[in-house]
Structure 1
Amino acid sequence: MGTVLITGMGRGIGRELARVLLRRGDRVIGTVRDERSISGEWSEFLASGQLRMLVLDVRDETAIRKAAAQVDEPIDVLVNNAGIIGPQRQSTLDMDFEGFLETLNINTLGPLRITHAFLPHLRRAKAGKIVTISSRMGSLSYAKADRIAYRASKAAVNKVMQGLAEDLRPEGIVAISVHPGWVRTDMGGTGADISVAESAAGLATLIDRVACEDSGGFFDWQGDRLPF
């Protein structure tokens, strides 16, 4: 058992991963952008103190640091889950440039802002772990051109996590990127390969087993290594 911080817990993979972890006895700190999105299903866990919710936007460094200052306990695992698919127009030949910047701001810089703010809490844990939800779509070896803003943001966050892994290795803090699968969520759509429950269960298992020798790696939800 441990304490896990999950960003973007209001829906999809973040919400289901929280369910898995809470049911097995972990403590969860979840973040949402709007407190109105906190589901009534969490009332029992909130009342017992097993779950705590923070309201923040991963684009807002001030709000993130204020939220981090409210937490006075070690964090064993940070799951950078919050993200967006990006603008409607994101072809290399027809780009919404402001939308591209927004995608990078949330998907790439957001995890780094969160990591900076909560790094003192990770350092207080025995063996902190940073797990960032990325996508195989960001793999440079996967030559596709659709959703290029999203792809580029995930390729960039993979590199950021690789860099964090190197910088934090002397402290024993692990940082990895994870492809959660093509999941049937609002983002993945109804035609996706796997259910959100399958993805979350796999992610929980991966979080448990990931170790120092895995730091800097890119994995899928089943724990297999992926090429950058």
Structure 2
Amino acid sequence: MARIILITGATRGIGRELASQLAANGDTVLLSGRNLDAATKAAGEIGGNVHPIQLDTADQASVEAAAKKIEADFGHLDVLVNNVGGIFDYAQQASNADLSVVQQALDINLFSTWRVTQAMLPVLRKAQGARIVNVSSERGSIEQMAAGVPAYAVAKAAVNALTRNLAAELEEAGITVNAACPGWTATDLGGEGGRPVAEGAASVRYVVDLPANGGTSGFYQDGKTHAW
């Protein structure tokens, strides 16, 4: 049975490629973006069972409207992929970081994930064995934390913490929550030198495709467990 999968920030980069891979697998993909025209264009270019959804992860009203639309049109949601992220502050150090940039990083990485998850939970609860996949980064690993990109690193570490907190809370409800690390990928955020977008998306897809007994509260990169 085809799954219904919502991907945030899917008009380009890893989100779009993930939508393409999942659609090719026969899933029903809800490709969301802030701009409906861009989402519609991307969905049309991918083809298959891909539906554009207007969803601005920074706008509570937009998120709630998207949740209502998904419930009305599809009845439930099997998988939520919180893919939106950004603010790779390579020129900063924690000791002198511009805290307004840190706030932006928290807004786009942590609060977008949290906001969308809260809104989509009622539709996820209507599915059997629903799952949430939060796109994180090796830079968010506390165990491997190093200097540099402080806003991005701290924001992704917060996403990891939210992942584990939600996983513990929702396990009894049968909803799994895991984090995926796509690695350094040649997207607008990652820049030149990263690996192909298809490989980064495949790393996220592995987590989307975990078997029903695959567990919860995991952090994965390329099919292997990553250090929290």
Task: Say yes or no: TM over 0.5.
Answer: yes
Preserved CA contact (<8 Å) 1:77 1:129: yes
Is structure 2 residue 176 aligned with structure 1 residue 174?
A: yes
AA in 2 matched with 1:135? S
The alignment partner of 1:70 has SS state of helix
- Residue 10 of structure 1 corresponds to which residue in structure 2? 11
| Sequence identity percentage | 36
Is the 2:16–2:42 Cα contact (8 Å) retained in structure 1?
no
- What does residue 197 of structure 1 align with? 198
Preserved contact between residue 94 and residue 150 of structure 2 (Cα < 8 Å)? yes
Q: Distance in 2 between matches of 1:89 and 1:30?
A: 32
Counterpart in the other structure of 1:68? 67
Which TM-score applies when normalising by structure 1?
Answer: 0.91
Change beyond 3 A, Cα 1:41–1:161: closer
CA contact (8 A) 1:89 1:95 kept: no
Q: Aligned equivalents of 2:83 and 2:189: distance in 1?
A: 13
Equivalences, count: 224
Looking at structure 2, the residues matched to 150 and 210 of structure 1 have their Cα atoms a distance apart, in angstroms, of 30
- 1:53-132 equivalent positions in 2, closer than 5 A: 53-72=52-71, 73-87=75-89, 90-132=92-134
Structure 1 residues 180-191: aligned runs within 5 Å: 180-191=182-193
Secondary structure of 1:190's match? coil
Is 1:223 the counterpart of 2:223? The answer is yes
The answer on whether the counterparts of 1:165 and 1:216 sit within 8 Å (CA) in structure 2 is: yes
Shift of 1:209: 1.8
Partners of 1:210 and 1:190 in 2: how far apart? 34
* Aligned partner of residue 40 in structure 1, secondary structure: helix
Structure 2, unmatched stretches of 5+, are none
TM-fit CA distance, 1:212: 4.8
What is the alpha-carbon distance in structure 2 between the residues aligned to residue 12 and residue 44 of structure 1? 14
Task: Measure the CA separation in 2 of the matches of 1:175 and 1:67.
Answer: 21
Q: Aligned equivalents of 1:63 and 1:87: distance in 2?
A: 27
Structure 2 residue matching 1:30: 3-state secondary structure? strand
Deviates more, 1:178-187 or 1:194-203: 194-203
C-alpha RMSD of the superposition:
1.9
